[in-house]
């Protein structure tokens, strides 16, 4: 694995002007992904994961969207690229797959024809060569009897098989970066594990980088190199997989770890939940955005914490609690970490 960043996102902000006010969906997010690396992005629904990643491909551009910062991919700033340039990147460089593969497949056309068309758009092969390539891709993503299944329609595939087709579709342009936005969320646990293993195998075999977006830390526990935790449009913790799982610094991460589902283990008896709702992205709490849900809030938390390394050898985090205090208040038992019982809100 090379360490040169393939993509660099710097201080990305995506704000939507709405009737209710300005939604700060992404508010100063920075990260990079190296060639062949897998970055896991985790956070509850509404934390800005999809908006941040769709912005990479120019998919959030709209008249009510104010987008600032820098997204550099192979020496080009994607934020200032025109639509033609973006098409080129989407066709040759970065692919994205989503939670619901049905929405991205045309219901009235056979899988084979849709694949062949995508291949011809990207690679200009003749019919026979494109068809051969389509079958090869279906084989690669583990669809049995691929030649026959070329002639079937999307609804004839199970959810897991459909997601495999979507992944095959995403591979038609030989991406250097695959952005997988909750690719397993709609699937049962067994199928979920199979799709994860598939993406991991493809990453190894094809050497592509992957951004794996999920609301469930358990999904990336086995496969990510690094993890970025998002909350209310910001990154609240970022580090290696080991740092996040064995020495997490942010109380929100503790909560996520307490509520994760393990694909490889029976459900834990103690499943801590993070109490309360994610904040409004129009008026998040001043200071630490998590403080109204955090059992450890104190005076300092009304100031907005930067994302910096606060403990030696640890991940970067946005929590004011002194590192020694963190070690004592986070609940660690048999390798699992959860939130303490949240205190009652002050009357």
Ligand X SMILES: Nc1ncnc2c1ncn2[C@@H]1O[C@H](COP(=O)(O)OP(=O)(O)O)[C@@H](O)[C@H]1O
By CB under 6 A, residue 281 contacts ligand X: yes
Q: Closest distance between ligand X and the C-beta of residue 23, in Å?
A: 4
Of 9, 23, 67, 115, the one binding ligand X by CB under 6 A: 23
By CB under 6 A, residue 43 contacts ligand X: yes
The three-state secondary structure class of 49 is helix
By CB under 6 A, residue 253 contacts ligand X: no
Specify the stretch interacting with ligand X by CB under 6 A; choose among 47-55, 67-75, 78-86, 91-99.
47-55
- Nearest CB to ligand X, comparing residues 64 and 286: 64
- Nearest CB to Mg ion, comparing residues 50 and 114: 50
By CB under 5 A, residue 50 contacts Mg ion: yes
Of 1, 2, 11, 18, the one binding ligand X by CB under 6 A: 18
Beta bridge partner(s), residue 15:
24, 66
Q: Closest distance between Mg ion and the C-beta of residue 294, in Å?
A: 23
User: How many CB atoms lie under 10 A from the CB of residue 98?
Assistant: 21
Handedness of CA 128, 129, 130, 131 (dihedral sign): positive
By CB under 6 A, residue 180 contacts ligand X: no
As a whole number of Å, the end-to-end CA separation of the chain is 54
By CB under 6 A, residue 45 contacts ligand X: yes
Residues in Cβ contact with 21 at an 8 Å cutoff, skipping those fewer than 6 apart: 282, 283
Interatomic CA distance for residues 289 and 13, integer angstroms = 16
Q: Report DSSP letters for 134-149, one per residue.
A: HHHHHHHTT-TTHHHH
- Strand 226-231 and strand 234-240: the pairing is antiparallel
Q: Closest distance between Mg ion and the C-beta of residue 46, in Å?
A: 8
Binding site for ligand X (CB under 6 A): 16, 18, 23, 25, 43, 45-51, 281
């Amino acid at each position: 694995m090379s360490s040169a960043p393939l993509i660099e996102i710097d201080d990305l902000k995506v704000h939507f002007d709405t009737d209710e006010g300005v939604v700060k969906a992404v508010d100063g997010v920075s990260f990079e992904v190296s060639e062949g690396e897998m970055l896991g992005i985790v956070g509850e629904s509404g934390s800005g994961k999809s908006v941040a990643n769709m912005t990479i491909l120019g998919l959030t551009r709209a008249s009510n969207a104010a987008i600032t910062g820098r997204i550099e991919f192979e020496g080009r700033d994607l934020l200032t690229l025109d639509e033609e340039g973006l098409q080129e990147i989407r066709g040759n460089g970065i692919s994205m797959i989503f939670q619901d593969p049905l929405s991205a497949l045309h219901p009235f056309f056979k899988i084979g024809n849709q694949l062949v068309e995508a291949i011809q758009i990207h690679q200009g092969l003749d019919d026979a060569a494109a068809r051969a390539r389509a079958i090869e891709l279906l084989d690669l993503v583990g669809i049995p009897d691929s030649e026959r299944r070329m002639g079937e329609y999307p609804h004839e595939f199970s959810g897991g098989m459909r997601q495999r087709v979507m992944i095959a579709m995403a591979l038609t342009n030989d991406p250097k970066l695959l952005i997988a936005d909750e690719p397993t969320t709609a699937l049962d646990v067994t199928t979920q594990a199979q799709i994860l293993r598939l993406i991991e195998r493809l990453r190894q075999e094809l050497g592509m980088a992957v951004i794996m977006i999920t609301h469930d830390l358990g999904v990336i526990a086995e496969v990510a190199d690094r993890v970025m935790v998002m909350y209310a449009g910001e990154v609240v913790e970022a580090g290696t997989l080991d740092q996040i799982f064995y020495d997490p610094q942010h109380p929100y991460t503790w909560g996520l770890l307490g509520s994760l589902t393990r694909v490889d283990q029976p459900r834990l008896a103690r499943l801590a939940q993070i109490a309360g709702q994610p904040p409004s992205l129009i008026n998040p709490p001043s200071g630490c955005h998590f403080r109204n849900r955090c059992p450890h809030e104190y005076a300092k938390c009304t100031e907005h914490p930067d994302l910096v390394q606060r403990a030696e050898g640890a991940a970067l985090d946005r929590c004011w609690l002194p590192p020694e205090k963190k070690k004592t208040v986070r609940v660690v038992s048999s390798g699992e970490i959860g939130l303490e019982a949240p205190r009652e809100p002050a009357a």
